[in-house]
Amino acid sequence: MNFLDSLHLRFAALFQRSQMNAEIEDELRSHIEHRADDLERSGVDHAEALRRARIEFGGSERFREECHEALGGNLIDSLLQDLRLAFRLLRKSPGFGFAAVFTLALAIGANAVVFGIMDGLILRPLNVPHPQSLYGTEYGDYSGFQSYPNYVDLRDRNRSFEDLAAFNFVFVGLDTGNNPSLATGYATSGNYFDVLRLQPYLGRFFHSSDEHGRNSAPYVVLAYGYWHSRFQDDRGVLGREIQFDKHPYTVIGVAPPDFRGTVLFISPDFFMPIVNEEQVGPENVLDARGNMHGVFETFGHLKPGVTAAQAIADVNAVGASLEKTYPKEVSHKASTLSRQGLTSFSGAARAFVAGLMLLAGLILLAACANLGSLFGAHAADRAREVALRLALGSSRQRILRQLLTEAMLISLAGGTLGVMGSVALLRRLSMWQPFSGAPVHIPVSPDAKIYVVALVLAVVSGFLFGIVPVRQVLRANPYEIVKAGPTGKVGHRLTVRDALLVVQIAICAVLVTSSMVAVRGLLRSLHSNFGFEPRNAMLVGANLTMAGYSADKVPAMQKRMINAMETIPGIERVGFVNNYPPLVYASGSRANVFKDETTDLRQSNIAAMPYRYEVSPGYFDAAATALLAGRTFTWHDDKSAPPVAVVNRDLAVKLFGSVTDSVGAYYRMQDGTRVQVVGVVENGKYLSVTEDQQPAMFLSALQSPSSAAYLVVRSRRDPQELGAAIRGKMRELDAGLPVTIDTWNSLLSVVLFPSRVATASLGVLGMMGAMLSITGIFGMAAYSVSKRLRELGIRVALGAPRAEVLQAALGRAFKLLAFGSAAGLFMGILASRVLAFIVYQATPRDPLVLTGVVLAMALLGLIATWIPAQRALAVDPMILLHEE
């Protein structure tokens, strides 16, 4: 028979199933009738003859199946049969089906979301041509900052990159002629778009050839999203003049829609040439070699044939020679290459994703343990049915195939549900803007990769745990099981199921412990001492450059602003701080300071690198920063007075040994200026709440004025109402000045963002763990109760007290729960050490956390065993004794 014939037969067999069955039935019946005829002839009566003929024939079910197979129609056919049976069985035990699907959906969903985040943050390169050869330069400490002159030297002297581009963030007041607003953009080197090999969506890009020195290229390229939202896709915007901080710029192009800048988290509104940055940003960006905040990141394509290692050596060589040439300004740190898009965040992002993966893996493990015990219990419940089928001649292979079909069905359902949930969540995540006013987004987009990963996970875990009961089936002795009934042995042997349950509970306890530790840590960090009091304080941000004030008019205007605030009723104190207050937007700059006796001001002689703030008189009062010694600033500490500083306790101790010794003492700045310390304030947090204690110095804002400042306004009034009053006053002062008004607490959310996200994810995972342990314990308890219903009935009939019945029914479940929780708590405490890196003040040695975990696990146990316990207590001995 050739192949086509066989194929034809197989299909025919599939579609002619009923005909085939009829054929088999006819043959078997014919055989039995003939045999019965023979028996009748030997003197047996008709009915008895038929009966004997059937017995002699043997297990007809098995022969039927073998005939089916012999006819070649069995594979797909029996699969359909298995599926139908699986559906029927699941409908018969909906509890098992629901628990298994739900467990799997949770685990697959969690893992798909984490994979989606990892895909978005780490696996996916930037949306530009040839991202494989695109590298950023960064230092070993993950920062990509450069000074602009260093960048220019690096660009011109390196031999590894085809070309190097650079960019920096700029924040401008944008005026299109009607309403001034704030916008975030990149100030980029002229070659930026050429290095990225991008083509404009509309108009043209700027190029290196447009750069002719300082402020020579007043051009702007709009990001597609901003063009869409702010300019309503108006093609006529090309050639139009708009104002950045009152300086005219010409719109020359629109960037392509799928290009959202070269930092994954932060999509800019526009791109402008970096040679014009001084018009909208701090002065001296282009010249100051020591200003390491001139460039956020540099990057380029490696030349063909140049390896990453060669390029790193090359970049380091340039850095070393710069350090030699400019010892005062440059201290070279070891450079490496980085993948574009995450520089400066990659360490944190990787650690975060790794942590999430670990936790999601734990969830999957717990879910698998759960599934394993569920499947085991399910198979044990069906032991009698399986035994009957075996006795009737069904092959073990066929029964196993049926079990696996059921497992597949559950894993596909669970996987599908999980994927749907995770896709919905990822969509939400990609739309989410965590900070109003900051163009931050999470670059995740669910795609085919995620579906595949989730489905593979689902099928593999379903398959693995569908196999758990296989041993049970293979060893089953149909005769014994049918004879003994479904009670089976209720021995005190530790079974695989028990072990799985303990493992699962332990994992869940780890998750619950970690989430409690994290929540507790977050709560504490919200109420810890920052060195200022964020409650009842508003921050009013105003950059006078955006309204066109020249440097000489800035101090007077800032004083007018303070005076205006003081006239608003309910405002107790007002002061201002240049640039950003502590802990706002994780932004702060450091300065090099030297001891007074140091004369050679080279980098190696630096005494400390404190954070540097310039503050007005009244700032410390408004911020509620405690003064430990000396005095704060007055309006007389201006340019005509000798330079003075207030230092925090940490810097005082570093420079002078003690707080009292430091008042009246002197130290030196990088430019050689001697500064006298007039006061010492308490220590605080400056860049992040998790930082170690850092030194800080406060200079008088009157002695080093800056046009960008935040007013700190202390008042107990309702922030909404107060905000409106402040906005009104500011408009009276200058209607063209864009201001931001927020509570200090709300701006803290940016620095607390990592620990918030960590806490939220841990909270969700902890909840999942809790739910998983409920289904696990419930499954186990319900199973053990139903298994021993008859025994419990006898106990009740013999007059056992309720407590004893419960003890008999659920003692084991509780023992396992206690054992698992203890193990989990212990591991959770170990795991929480890791947490301390992300969540400030996360400590597991907290009696509240410990009792919380114990209580939570006990409560979970109670919830999960409630229904089985009710069932055990409500047992009616009469009914049970009637049964069977």
Partner 1 sequence: MPEQAQLLPGTLDLLILRAVALGPLHGYGILLRIGQISGNALLIEQGALYPGLFRLVRQGLLKTNSGTSENNRRAKFYELTATGRKRLREETANWNRLAAAIASALSVRPEEV
Q: Is residue 209 within the footprint of partner 1 (CB under 8 A)?
A: no
Neighbouring CB atoms inside 10 A of 42's CB total: 7
Q: Nearer Cβ to partner 1, position 21 or 176? A: 21
| Look-up of token digits 């009698």 | 384
Please state, in angstroms and rounded to a whole number, the distance separating the CA atoms of residues 430 and 443. Answer: 6
Q: Is residue 26 within the footprint of partner 1 (CB under 8 A)?
A: yes
Q: Is residue 9 within the footprint of partner 1 (CB under 8 A)?
A: yes
Smallest distance from partner 1 to CB 36, Å: 10
Q: Is residue 66 within the footprint of partner 1 (CB under 8 A)?
A: yes
Q: Is residue 396 within the footprint of partner 1 (CB under 8 A)?
A: no
Q: Which stretch binds partner 1 (CB under 8 A): 25-33, 193-201, 271-279, 509-517?
A: 25-33
Of these, 51, 58, 234, 313, which contacts partner 1 (CB under 8 A)?
58
Token pair for 744 = 């200090």
Q: Is residue 14 within the footprint of partner 1 (CB under 8 A)?
A: no
Please state, in angstroms and rounded to a whole number, the distance separating the CA atoms of residues 429 and 151. Answer: 36
Please state, in angstroms and rounded to a whole number, the distance separating the CA atoms of residues 568 and 553. Answer: 24
Q: Nearer Cβ to partner 1, position 12 or 412? A: 12
Q: How many residues bind partner 1 (CB under 8 A)?
A: 25
Q: Is residue 25 within the footprint of partner 1 (CB under 8 A)?
A: no
Q: Is residue 395 within the footprint of partner 1 (CB under 8 A)?
A: no
Of these, 17, 62, 246, 339, which contacts partner 1 (CB under 8 A)?
62
Q: Is residue 15 within the footprint of partner 1 (CB under 8 A)?
A: no
Smallest distance from partner 1 to CB 398, Å: 14
Of these, 7, 11, 15, 31, which contacts partner 1 (CB under 8 A)?
31
Q: Is residue 50 within the footprint of partner 1 (CB under 8 A)?
A: no
Q: Is residue 56 within the footprint of partner 1 (CB under 8 A)?
A: yes
Q: Is residue 46 within the footprint of partner 1 (CB under 8 A)?
A: no
Cβ-proximal residues to 338 (8 Å cutoff; 6+ apart), any chain: 135, 136, 137, 138, 142, 144, 346
Binding to partner 1, residues 435-464 (CB under 8 A): none
Q: Which stretch binds partner 1 (CB under 8 A): 23-31, 531-539, 571-579, 874-882?
A: 23-31
Cβ-proximal residues to 558 (8 Å cutoff; 6+ apart), any chain: 544, 576, 616, 701, 705, 709
DSSP, res 274: G
Q: Is residue 57 within the footprint of partner 1 (CB under 8 A)?
A: yes
Q: How many residues does the chain have?
A: 884
Q: Nearer Cβ to partner 1, position 2 or 178? A: 2
Smallest distance from partner 1 to CB 781, Å: 45
Burial class (CB in 10 A: 0-12, 13-18, 19+), 782: buried
Neighbouring CB atoms inside 10 A of 149's CB total: 21
Kindly give the pairing relationship between strand 696-700 and strand 270-273. unpaired
Of these, 8, 11, 22, 37, which contacts partner 1 (CB under 8 A)?
37
Please state, in angstroms and rounded to a whole number, the distance separating the CA atoms of residues 226 and 221. Answer: 10
Smallest distance from partner 1 to CB 27, Å: 6
Residue of 633, 671, 621, 629 lying closest to 651 (CA atoms): 629
Token pair for 371 = 């599934």
CB distance 203 to 234 below 8 Å: no
Smallest distance from partner 1 to CB 515, Å: 60
Of these, 71, 114, 399, 768, which contacts partner 1 (CB under 8 A)?
71
Q: Is residue 33 within the footprint of partner 1 (CB under 8 A)?
A: yes
Q: Is residue 27 within the footprint of partner 1 (CB under 8 A)?
A: yes
Please state, in angstroms and rounded to a whole number, the distance separating the CA atoms of residues 465 and 428. Answer: 32
Q: Is residue 63 within the footprint of partner 1 (CB under 8 A)?
A: yes
Q: Which stretch binds partner 1 (CB under 8 A): 65-73, 261-269, 350-358, 560-568?
A: 65-73
Of these, 49, 67, 252, 774, which contacts partner 1 (CB under 8 A)?
67
Q: Is residue 691 within the footprint of partner 1 (CB under 8 A)?
A: no
Burial class (CB in 10 A: 0-12, 13-18, 19+), 505: buried
Q: Is residue 390 within the footprint of partner 1 (CB under 8 A)?
A: no
CB distance 263 to 228 below 8 Å: no
Neighbouring CB atoms inside 10 A of 391's CB total: 15
Q: Is residue 30 within the footprint of partner 1 (CB under 8 A)?
A: yes
DSSP string, 194-233: HHHT---SEE----GGG--STT---EEEE-HHHHHHHHTT
Helices within 527-594 (DSSP H only):
554-566
Q: Nearer Cβ to partner 1, position 35 or 396? A: 35
Q: Is residue 548 within the footprint of partner 1 (CB under 8 A)?
A: no
- Interface with partner 1 by CB under 8 A: which residues? 1, 9, 24, 26-28, 30-31, 33-35, 37, 56-60, 62-63, 66-67, 69-72
